[in-house]
Each structure stands twice: as structure tokens, then as C-alpha cells.
Structure 1
Amino acid sequence: MKGNSLSQVYYRPIEAAIRWAGLLRFQHEIVAAIIDSRHLAVTLNCPRCDELRLYIDRIYDAIYHGELPYGQNGITIDDKSLWDSPDLTIRHVDLKRWMLNHYSGQRPAFLFSRGERIAHPVITLEAGNALLVEREALKSQLEQCRSQLRALQEQRKKHDQAPPACTLCPLSDRAEATYLHIIGAMLTLMLGRSPSGTPYSSFNSQEAIASALIAHHGHLMGITERTLQAKFAQARRKLQSAVS
């Protein structure tokens, strides 16, 4: 079957490869440059030539190894004499099934509907690597926040254990603002999400953070539901006023 429509009932291997590579607008030039049933001219001048050659080779390789049914004029026939014939064709449904089994990460538009492509988005190697890099960066940021939290907890522990005379020493406005900024920033980060939508931590609410602190450190002075909620609210207001 010849034609310029994107999806057809069946395709010649070159027609399927052209659509797979997204080069349908160059189909006339590509078909005119065919040397035989499966080889293109070396001097073919169109975008992504190497990608197109790879797709042709993949299709024929699948045919040779019995992975992809083929035939003539849309009729499935297991006849090896057709391998080198320009009349060799592949049915749309067989090609789609083969791609799902062997190239499940790809969803070319001529085989898959828009809904299918949205439901199963293609993640390229580059995008996957970018997500991994982002994940490692977020893990590093989260560990920094945990280290800061542990440092604050240690400072508070030392403060609670200090001699009574020390309690008479007032906390300077600058020091208090610093602590509130740190607490507010950590709360915002721990409850936030990355640009890709990944949560920075397993906590989904301020109450969950307070509950975890009470569960682990409820024996310390100040680690109570009422005090934590008051300090959290104060810290977030302080942070908001600083960034406004």
C-alpha cells in the first residue's frame, strides 16, 4: 500500500521506517533514493538518515528472525522469497504488537494514538539521566536539611542541659531570626516538591513533621505539639516576610 497518510492498514518496510523516524514529509525523496528493497543511497540528503537506516535494519532483522509477520499486499504469507521483494508488506497491527514487545519505550504517532502516547510517555535516555541527576541533587539537599536539623537539635539539647544561670542570657534578635529562617526554610523544603513533581521528603504535612519529632524526641524540653506548631508558624511567617 502506497500513500502519504500517517496510519495505514499495512506498510512496506521503508514506509514503516519513514513514519517511525518522523520523516513522512520526505517520503518521496527517500523512496526515490532506494537502491534495492532495503538499502538507501549513501548520498541520501534528509534529516536523521542514520536513524532511518537503523529502523529499516530493525524491521528486516525482526522479519528474518520470525519476530514480525510479513506478507504481500497486506496478506500475511510466510514466504522467504518475499524478503527481497519490493512488494513485501507488514500489517499495522503486527507492527504495533512487535514494537510493544521489543521497543516498548517508543510510541511513534503512526502506530499509537495520542491517548496511548500520553498514558505511556516516552522517556529518552537523556531525560532519564537528567531525572537521575535531579534525584541525586534532591537527596543531597535533603541530607543537608537533616544535618541542619540534627545540629539544631544538638544545640537545643546543649541549651537545655546548660546551667540555670545561662537561661538568664537572652537570645539576640539576630540569632532568633537566624533560627527561625532555618526552621522555616527546612519546613518549606521538606513539604515541597521538585520541578518534576517529586516530593523532597516523605512528610506531607506540618503535623506529620511535628508528630515525628515528638515520637523521637518528645522527652526534650520544647518538643511538644503546642510548642512545635507555634514555632513552626512563627518560622514560616518570618521566612515569608524575609522573602517578600
Structure 2
Amino acid sequence: MVSYRSSYHPIDAAILWSDLADHEAEILHVELTHPGGLLKHFPQWPTLHLYAERICDAIINGELPATYLGGPIGLGDPMQRAYWSIRHPDLCGWFARTYPHEKPAFLFSRESDHSLCVSLGVHLALQADRDVLLRELERLRRTYSALRDQESPELDDPTIAQKTKSKSGVLSENAALLLYVIVGALLALTLGKTEKGLPRSIFEDQAAIVDAITTLFPDVPGLSKRTLDRKFAEARRRFAQAGRV
């Protein structure tokens, strides 16, 4: 049965997780009078000790947010675990991340149909992937800026820059070729490996980069899959030609 508590002490959560609510008074008495003696006094319930230690270890390691009498928990302080407190949503989130296949009845309803819902674990994983992609995109932007400054300072010269444009204001063929070469260099860098043979990025191939861009920026004009595939292919071809010159 789902619990409607807003918070739990570690021993409370361990008791409910072990389905020992009927013995709560007896267990709490032992925990308060003989801290750390659960396994000794209740050998018939080994999961009680195991679950209590899992929860406390998660708090100590910073994996499960908790407080001590409403304040932060100092890992070096010898505070009594009986006064640690865990918020209901934090406990649910920890279970979803750490034990996604376990759904304790006191936290998760087994009557509701969630077959069409995205689990919290999947949501957190997708969010983490999105954060990685955003960081990678920012890194690519910085790399492009650095390459532009180091390899093409002439673009900053207004006289030369003016020559790269046609009368209609469109980039000339030379300027377009330069941009293709820069994009090709970025692709080669992103999809390449270090001297030790390690990938330089999380992207395995060009298709992965295209998928990431179209997913993160679905409404930006010019960033359709068809356009990116065509432009990237052209950039890699121009870059390969430039390397043979």
C-alpha cells in the first residue's frame, strides 16, 4: 500500500521496504537503544539490515538527499541516523535511478496503469544525454571559433572580407569553399580519435551528429536532416581535397 508520508527516517524506509510494518514498534525500539544491532537482534529478517545500510550508504555518498533535524548532513559528524530525514520524492527518485526494477509498495502504486508513461529513470537518462549533447555542441562552437581565429584571420580584415562577397551580398565561391573546409575540419576533429586511439567525442558518425542537431534545434531554418546531410558531405569532400593540395 502506498504511503502518504512526506518524509521518512532511514529505518522507517527500511521497515516499509522489507514489508515489516507490523513489527515497526519492536524494530524502532531496538534501533534506538542498540544502534547498528538490527542484524544481531533480527537475524530472521536479513533484508532489514541490508536495506537500512543501502539507504544510509546512499545518503553518506551523496546519492540520496537527506537532512539532519532540518539541516545539512556533515559526512564527518557522528550524528544519529535515527534523526536523518528523507523527502518522499527524493526517495522515489533514488529508487528509480538505483533500483529501477524494484517498486516498493509503499512508494509506487501497483494499481495504476503506467504502461504509457515514461519512467523517472528513463527521463533522467534522456536528460543526461541531452546535457551531454549541449556540452558537446558548445565545445564544437568554441573549436570553430578557435579554428577561425587561428587559420583564417584574413576574414577579419574588412578589405579582404569585402572581396569575398559578390555584388549581391552573397558569399563568393572562395569564401564558401573556406567555410566548407572549416566545417569539414570540425567533422574530422569530432569523429576522429586521439593519439591514444580514444574517441574525441560521443558521436560515432556523421549521422549521430545530424540526429543530435535536428533533435535539439527542430525549428531552426536550414538545419533539416536533408540539408545537413548534403552540406556535411560536401564539407568533408572539400576538406579532403584541401588536404591533398
TM class, shorter-length: 0.3 to 0.5
With normalisation by structure 2, the TM-score equals: 0.41
Q: Whose Rg is larger?
A: 1
Alignment TM-score, normalising by the size of structure 1: 0.41
